Amino acid sequence: MAEQSRAKTSPAAWVDLRGKVALVTGAARGIGQAIAATLSAAGATVVATDLDAKSIGESAAVSGCHPMVLNVADENAVDSVIAAVVERHGGLDILVNNAGVYLGFGGPIADMKTETWRGLMSVNLDGVFYCCRAGARAMIRRGQGGRIVNVASTQAVTPGVGVSYDSSKAAVVQMTRTLALELAQYRINVNAVAPGATWVQPGDAPPLGPETLTFTGEPLNDQVLDRIRRIPLGHWGAPEDVAKATLFLASPMSDFVTGIYLPVDGGWLVL
Ligand SMILES: NC(=O)c1ccc[n+]([C@@H]2O[C@H](COP(=O)([O-])OP(=O)(O)OC[C@H]3O[C@@H](n4cnc5c(N)ncnc54)[C@H](O)[C@@H]3O)[C@@H](O)[C@H]2O)c1
């Protein structure tokens, strides 16, 4: 009985991705880890990649994914990893560009060093470009269509985290639209998910009280904190919430959907 009800709530009960090959970036922890585990639970062969060699090995072992080390800011490494995936698994059907940085890359523009700006852009924007380019080449060459899902942020359309981060995510949303148009002729759907405040630290998300409202160690901008307290659905998101939306965009359930960004934010953007 318990087994039956678990089966009903498992992603595998909704979507069958058996026979599909997926690559997820930044999959050692947080949202990327949940996405890799969810695609794997739905039957896909998942290559879980991350900059952090030790953690990606450990997390991939738990979810039955194939670990690979990949720094998305290194274009040659991106090209070689995607070539290796095609060689080993016969092709690439689903690419999820999740790797992103925010901690230590913010601050007011007047104090921002060029290397801080470039450091963030090299991962959040250049990295998405390198992966989309290599992924699109592999998908076009095989001629069987494909799915690209970019992990943007609600900050793409509502500023608050900082000039570098917000600008990078706005660019990712526009890159998603442009590539949706350009790659439609190859039956490659390109969409984005836009997480709102998502609790990625171990343990439960803190209540929405003023005393616990720090985000992974760094205090957030007052306006953002105020918005988190006012999330209509009343709590932080979980990595699994973003993973379920990504599963939808990676699956046949969204066959006629391309060029969108899907907020996963408890209603944040309604405010
Ligand atoms: N957590 C949130 O509230 C939130 C909200 C909106 C958007 N996002 C976006 O979701 C994505 C995941 O965020 P998260 O909160 O899970 O982050 P996280 O910091 O918990 O995990 C990010 C992962 O990416 C990896 N990574 C960092 N730089 C990399 C690089 N150059 N190459 C490959 N991997 C790299 C890290 O090692 C880590 O495993 C990011 O793109 C982030 O901007 C997060």
- pLDDT above 90 coverage of the chain, percent: 77
**Cβ(59) – ligand 1 distance below 6 Å:** no
- Residue 66 exposed, middle or buried by CB count within 10 Å (0-12, 13-18, 19+): middle
Separation between Cα atoms, residue 262 and residue 152, nearest integer Å: 9
Whether residue 219 is contained in a domain is answered as: no
- Ligand 1: atom nearest CA of 27 is 39
Report which protein residue has its CA nearest ligand 1's atom 24.
26
Give the closest residue to 239 by CA, choosing from 204, 268, 199.
199
Return the residue matching tokens 């930044």: 26
Reduce the DSSP state of residue 162 to 3 states and report it.
strand
Q: Give burial (CB, 10 Å; 0-12/13-18/19+) of 156.
A: buried
**Quick check: is 261 catalytic?**
no
What pLDDT, on the 0 to 100 scale, is given for residue 9? 65
pLDDT for position 80: 98
User: In this structure, is residue 220 part of a structural domain?
Assistant: no
Report the nearest-CA residue for atom 31 of ligand 1.
71
| Per-residue pLDDT at 8 exceeds 80 | no
First-last CA distance in the chain: 41
Instruction: Answer whether residue 217 is part of any domain.
Output: no
C-alpha 27 chain-centroid distance? 9
As given in the structure block, the two tokens for residue 145 are 């269509």
Does residue 73 sit within a domain?
A: yes
73: confidence class by pLDDT, cuts 50, 70, 90: very high
Question: What domain range is 177 assigned to?
Answer: 2-202+238-264
C-alpha of residue 3 to centroid of ligand 1, in Å = 33
**Residue 214 pLDDT level (bands cut at 50, 70, 90):** low
216 Cβ neighbours under 8 A, 6+ residues apart: 103, 200, 201
Residue 123's SS3 state is: helix
134-143, 166-175, 232-241: which range is least confident on average? Answer: 232-241
Could you tell me what percent of the chain has a pLDDT over 70?
Answer: 89
Paired residues of 262 in beta bridges: 193
Strand partners, 48: 24, 67
What distance in angstroms lies between residue 70's CA and the mean position of ligand 1's atoms? 13
Q: Is residue 224 part of a domain?
A: no
- CB distance 162 to 110 below 8 Å: no
Atom of ligand 1 nearest to the CA of 103: 19
Rounded distance between C-alpha atoms, residue 34 and residue 55, angstroms: 14
Question: Residue 3 has what pLDDT?
Answer: 47
* pLDDT of the residue at 107: 82
- For residue 189, give the CATH number of its domain: 3.40.50.720
pLDDT (0 to 100) of residue 63: 94
Q: Is residue 140 part of a domain?
A: yes
259's torsion region: left (phi>0), alpha (psi -120 to 50) or beta? left
Q: Is the CB of 96 under 6 A from ligand 1?
A: no
Cβ–ligand 1 distance for 228 under 6 Å, the answer no
Other beta carbons within 10 Å of 83: 14
Residue of 23, 31, 97, 175 to test ligand 1 pocket, by largest number of atoms within 8 Å of CB: 31
Higher-confidence residue of 150 and 224: namely 150
Please state the atom number of ligand 1 nearest to the C-alpha of residue 56: 39
Q: Among 206, 207, 198, which Cα is nearest to 266's?
A: 198
DSSP state of 230: T
CA of 99 to the centre of ligand 1 (A): 5
Does the beta carbon of 100 lie inside 6 Å of ligand 1? yes
For ligand 1, whether the C-beta of 168 sits within 6 Å is no
Give residue-wise pLDDT tens across range 151-185. 999 999 998 788 999 999 999 999 999 999 999 99
| Ligand 1 centre distance from Cα of residue 124 (Å) | 9
93-114 mean pLDDT: 92
Residue nearest to atom 41 of ligand 1 (CA): 100
Domain for residue 247, yes or no? yes
CA 46 vs. chain centroid, Å, equals: 14
What SS3 string covers 33-101? HHHHHHHHHCCCEEEEEECCHHHHHHHHHHHCCEEEECCCCCHHHHHHHHHHHHHHHCCCCEEEECCCC
Give the pLDDT score at 203: 74
Sign of the Cα pseudo-torsion (107, 113, 116, 118, in order): positive
Instruction: State the Rg of the chain over Cα.
Output: 18
Task: Note the pLDDT of residue 6.
Answer: 45
Does residue 245 surpass a pLDDT of 70? yes
Count up the domains in the chain and report the number. 1
Domain presence at residue 35: yes
Q: pLDDT tens digits for 39-71? A: 999 999 999 999 999 999 999 999 999 999 999
51 with 101: CB under 8 angstroms? no
Categorize the per-residue pLDDT at 91 as very low, low, confident or very high, splitting at 50, 70 and 90: very high
At residue 1, the pLDDT reads 40
For the ranges 125-139, 197-211, 213-227, the lowest mean pLDDT is seen at 213-227
